[in-house]
Structure 1
Amino acid sequence: MNATPPHHDDEAAARAANSPLVRDFGLLIKSATRLEQRIDTALRRECGIGHTMLEVLIRLCRRPGEEVSQRQLADDLTLTSSGTTRLIDRMEEAGLVRRVASPGDRRVALVEPTAEGRTAFLRAAGVHARVVEEFFVRPLAADDYTRLTGALAEIDRALREEAG
């Protein structure tokens, strides 16, 4: 089989694919994905819940007594409405959350943690903290960690302002 002859755009495409911007952003995404996979694996093994369920519990436990709708959860977690419904269904079946009608609008389903959900959250939060400490904090010098988190906050701020 003959190799395809070089195309005139091959060199330009190779330069673009190997650019520092592509490389650096790819490193950010790969690192975040690998860290999330480590967290998810540890949570499933030690707590019986996945990382996305933990994210729901974090959101629900952040401000006790706050009314949080399924729609707000979908927005906060960047999930589709149907994906959020399925996730909350599974969490409700596991006894971690319950749906209640909103007192202001009975068409709106609010989601709140159960006592079992709060207990599971506290156990999972410890596992999460341990993995984050091991793979996100400890590999960096304290000054580098401070610079990294400051830079990530600036990126997040710029993205939120642009979207707003």
Structure 2
Amino acid sequence: MNPTPQHSEEAVARAANSRLVRDFGLLIKSATRLEQCIDRALRRECGISHTMLEVLIRLCRKPGEQVSQRQLADDLTLTSSGTTRLIDRMEEAGLVCRVQSPGDRRVVLVEPTAEGRTAFLHAAAVHAEVVEKYFVQPLTADDHAQLIGALSVIDKALREGTR
């Protein structure tokens, strides 16, 4: 689409440099950089990805709970095939195992192995160190509390707005 007199290069540049675009971009860049930092630390120190840790968090949240692959895909916002490949890799690494649902043979459940729970504890400690260093320490306690409060308000508005 060529700029028309109504869409001058200056108007386009103003829109691209608007406060809303900049502010949201800062949020996304910061979150992405933090996620990348966590992923590098987990790969280096634990041999797992951040996404694998997210699976283990979900599986370890309630002791004894078995979670379906479909629920994992929904919780992690992954495609069904992406979740299958991820669980394949985690199963090969001995972190999780698949079991058939006793109530529905079509449903595949995933649960952490003993090795997976051990890996989770190590990875959770590494995750906490990175989050503390880059998400908590740079802020004052009051600023951190305000940030968490603001993010909670945004999350609630998004959850309510997508119903």
**What is the root-mean-square deviation in Å for CA atoms of aligned residues?**
1.0
Q: What is the aligned residue count?
A: 159
Q: Which amino acid aligns with 1:17?
A: A
TM-score (norm 2): 0.95
Superposition map of 1:18-29 within 5 A: 18-29=17-28
Deviation of 1:162 (Å): 1.3
Q: Which amino acid aligns with 2:112?
A: P
Equivalence for 2:57: 58
Q: Which amino acid aligns with 2:17?
A: N
SS of the equivalent of 2:67 reads coil
For 1:161 and 1:113, the matched residues in 2 are separated by: 32
For 2:54 and 2:80, the matched residues in 1 are separated by: 16
Deviation of 1:7 (Å): 6.1
Equivalence for 1:83: 82
Identity of aligned residues (%): 81
Equivalence for 1:72: 71
Equivalence for 1:139: 138
Equivalence for 1:106: 105
Q: Per-residue CA shift, 1:34-71, capped at 9, x if unaligned?
A: 00000000000000000000000000000112231000
Equivalence for 2:116: 117
For 2:102 and 2:159, the matched residues in 1 are separated by: 31
SS of the equivalent of 2:111 reads strand
For 2:16 and 2:109, the matched residues in 1 are separated by: 45
For 2:51 and 2:142, the matched residues in 1 are separated by: 30
SS of the equivalent of 2:66 reads coil
Deviation of 1:21 (Å): 0.2
Deviation of 1:82 (Å): 0.2
Equivalence for 2:127: 128
For 1:112 and 1:162, the matched residues in 2 are separated by: 33
Unaligned runs of 5+ in 1: 1-5
Deviation of 1:163 (Å): 1.5
Deviation of 1:11 (Å): 1.0
For 1:42 and 1:144, the matched residues in 2 are separated by: 26
Q: Per-residue CA shift, 1:83-113, capped at 9, x if unaligned?
A: 0000000000000000000111011000000
